[in-house]
Amino acid sequence: MGFLHAGHLSLVRKSKEICDITVVSIFINPTQFAAGEDLDKYPRDVERDSNLLINEGVDYLFLPSSGEIYPDNFQTYVSVEHITKKLEGKFRPSHFRGVTTVVNILFNSVMPDYAFFGQKDAQQAAVIRQMVCDLKIPVEIIVCPIIREADGLAMSSRNVYLLDKERNDALVLHNSLQAGMQKIMQGEKRVHAILSEMSQRINKVGSAQLDYVQIVEADTFEFIDELEPGNNYYILIACKIGKTRLIDNELIKVQ
């Protein structure tokens, strides 16, 4: 959606590594914001973003207007069921319908062979993969690793909202993920025990308001009670720090 950072640029570099032509779309999609969210104040700087993309050697920048994406009398939306009803979908009920609709429109406009998404929005990537599979859209979805600041904070355009103290408090997301990973590597398989440790860490931070901390199967996003050796799982967090809502996750294979 713009206001690019190193995480976005890592997707560009992966595209240039794999593809002959790289197209970047920037569109702040109104249908994925609910009332009271930050659509109006979401950071924007098209000139800055354009210069960054030129420096990366992007071939095309697609900057559609809202009217191009959603013309008058627009009535058709794409909705993926089940996987969108939990986690982000529970706290932002209309969010994924907006995401899948606009991504489908962008796919139809650009017709890419590959599309690159960041792991930070892991559930979004899983939802898009489900849509692509179900609707038989001929595009391969590639999920690229989270890019972090030196102190571990996951890069996000919304990090600019954080006040100085909140910026430090926000490290609790990464730190609690690391604590959860550590318990798993020490042999803990009970999900409730792992999540309890993580929640306690987050709740000690005064500015933090936890939406969820959860572990899901990486492919299906199904909840589980106990980890099984050899399987891949996402450990996921969504938390407000002050007024800024942040998400983060780690992908782990249980030994």
Q: How far apart are CA 102 and CA 30, in angstroms?
A: 10
Q: What is the DSSP letter of 37?
A: S
Closest CA to 80 of 131, 123, 30, 133: 131
Q: How far apart are CA 25 and CA 43, in angstroms?
A: 16
Q: How far apart are CA 5 and CA 161, in angstroms?
A: 14
The phi and psi torsions of 252 (rounded to 5 degrees) equal -135, 140
- Reading phi first (left if > 0) and then psi (alpha if -120 to 50, else beta), residue 7 is in alpha
174 is catalytic: no
Question: What distance lies between CA 53 and its chain's CA centroid?
Answer: 21
Q: Which of 8, 82, 174, 192 is catalytic?
A: 8
Closest CA to 22 of 9, 7, 37, 36: 9
Q: How far apart are CA 2 and CA 138, in angstroms?
A: 25
Query: How, if at all, do strands 208-217 and 140-144 pair?
Result: unpaired
Q: Which residues are catalytic?
A: 8
